[in-house]
Chains A and B, each alone.
Chain A
Amino acid sequence: EAQVTQNPRYLITVTGKKLTVTCSQNMNHEYMSWYRQDPGLGLRQIYYSMNVEVTDKGDVPEGYKVSRKEKRNFPLILESPSPNQTSLYFCASSSAGGPHSSYNSPLHFGNGTRLTVT
């Protein structure tokens, strides 16, 4: 089954304790991205990646890191989480292959990770 898998679904941690949220897709998609969803603010993109070793900042990258060492995996790293990073996080992938083919490629989302930082 074609899917985007992210883990864990729920995570409670303390301020400053490094954490990683994993994301994997089995659709051979080149484009992958991370979003956070907050009440009243909708979905905001954190980082995206167009291919292996190619990543770029989205709208809200501060406090986050990503890496894309393999095509299927795109982990999100919070080196020193803070309470304002408490949110619902989504990983998404798309078959978007370039600037003129991205606009007709829907994003396929993982099931979300609900992160609480105390």
Chain B
Amino acid sequence: AQKITQTQPGMFVQEKEAVTLDCTYDTSDPSYGLFWYKQPSSGEMIFLIYQGSYDQQNATEGRYSLNFQKARKSANLVISASQLGDSAMYFCAMWEAGGSYIPTFGRGTSLIVHP
């Protein structure tokens, strides 16, 4: 079974609108971290935001926020006020504290921002 599931292969959003990219995860480890990365067409992987399993507040970084619902095991990325430069692949990842040193990545969601 996949540990990280991103159910939206592709998403479209109008410039300046908000968009939510879904991520659900599966773990029995009480200690884990959830990460989101952006991969533009140029190919590099850019770290966006982190949420720890014990964090009480949802993480925010500028226009990025993470909607963390622990009981539902979801960690959705919210991008507010979308910009054309947000068009990219987005990957959700999880690193379990008690597991191996191998973070798990989802298959990614392609986001296209329309002008």
> In the complex, what distance in Å separates the CA atom of A48 from the CA atom of B99?
14
Tally A residues with Cβ within 8 Å of B.
31
Kindly list chain A residues whose C-beta atoms are within 8 Å of the C-beta of B44: 109-112
User: Within 8 Å CB of A31, what residues of B?
Assistant: 101
CB of B31 within 8 Å of the partner chain: yes
Most chain A beta-carbon neighbours within 10 Å: one of B32, B50, B105 = B105
Count contacts on B: residues with CB < 8 A to the other chain: 26
If over half of A's interface residues share one DSSP class (helix, strand or loop), that class is named, otherwise mixed; here it is: mixed
Can you list 28 contacts pairing A with B, beta carbon distance less than 8 Å? A31-B101, A40-B107, A42-B105, A43-B91, A43-B105, A45-B102, A50-B101, A59-B102, A92-B45, A99-B98, A100-B31, A100-B97, A101-B97, A102-B97, A103-B33, A103-B52, A103-B96, A104-B50, A105-B33, A106-B35, A107-B45, A108-B47, A109-B46, A109-B47, A110-B44, A112-B43, A112-B44, A114-B43
Which residues of B pack against A, CB within 8 Å? 31-33, 35, 37, 43-47, 50, 52-53, 91, 93, 95-98, 101-103, 105-108
